[in-house]
Amino acid sequence: MTTFLSLTLIALLLSILAGLVRIFRGPEPAERMLAAQLFGTAAVAILLVLSQLMAMPALLDVAMVFALLAAITLVAFVVLASRGVR
């Protein structure tokens, strides 16, 4: 079971690293922020699996703060970027 969970961890981390290409290539800033949003959710998923693997229920609070972090940075981007557009 633990090796299976570790393999899913590696797959999730690889999905983050593969998504980094979008950050370099993404023409508009909105796409870069989207990628950051996906990585935030992937990190929450990694934490959920890790809390099982390392038997640390405290990681669920860390996952909660990660979810909050992704929301904060995205709202900051949308508000600040849209202010200049009109």
Partner 1 sequence: MTDPLMIFDLLLALAIVALAVASLSVRDLFSMIVLFIIFGLLSALAWVRLSAPDVALAEAAIGTGVTGALLLKTLHHLRYVSGTLGQQTALGVTPVAPVPMGIILANAGFCGLITLGLLVAFLGAPATGPGFDALVAEAMPQSGVEHPVTGVLLNFRAYDTLMEVVVLLAAVIAVWQIERGLSDAPAPVMGEVWQGFARLALPAIVVVGTYLLWVGAEAPGGAFQGGAVLAAVGLLLLLTRAYIPQPAHRGVARGAFVLGTAAFALVAILVAGGGRVAFEYPLEHAKTLILLIEGVVTLSIAVTLAALFHGREPVALSEGGRHDT
Partner 2 sequence: MVELAAAVLIATGTLFFIAGTVGLLRFPDIFCRLHALTKADGLGLALIALGAALLAGTPGAVFRIVLIWFFVATASATCGHLVARYARQSGAGGGAP
Pick the closest to residue 34 from 1, 78, 66, 64 (CA basis).
Answer: 78
Could you say whether residue 45 binds partner 1 (CB under 8 A)?
Answer: no
Taking the alpha carbons at both ends of the chain, their separation in whole angstroms is 53
Report the SS3 class of residue 1: coil
Q: What does the alpha-carbon distance between residue 2 and residue 52 come to, in Å, rounded to a whole number?
A: 9
Q: What does the alpha-carbon distance between residue 44 and residue 26 come to, in Å, rounded to a whole number?
A: 23
Instruction: Give residues in contact with partner 2 (CB under 8 A).
Output: 1, 4-5, 8, 11-12, 15-16, 18-19, 21-22, 28, 30-31, 33-35, 37-38, 41-42, 44-45, 48-49, 51-52, 57, 60-61, 63-64, 67-68, 70-71, 74-75, 78, 81-82, 85-86
Instruction: Give residues in contact with partner 1 (CB under 8 A).
Output: 3, 6-7, 9-10, 13-14, 16-17, 20, 23-24, 27-29, 32-33, 35-36, 39-40, 43, 46-47, 50, 53-54, 56-59, 61-62, 64-66, 68-69, 71-73, 75-77, 79-85
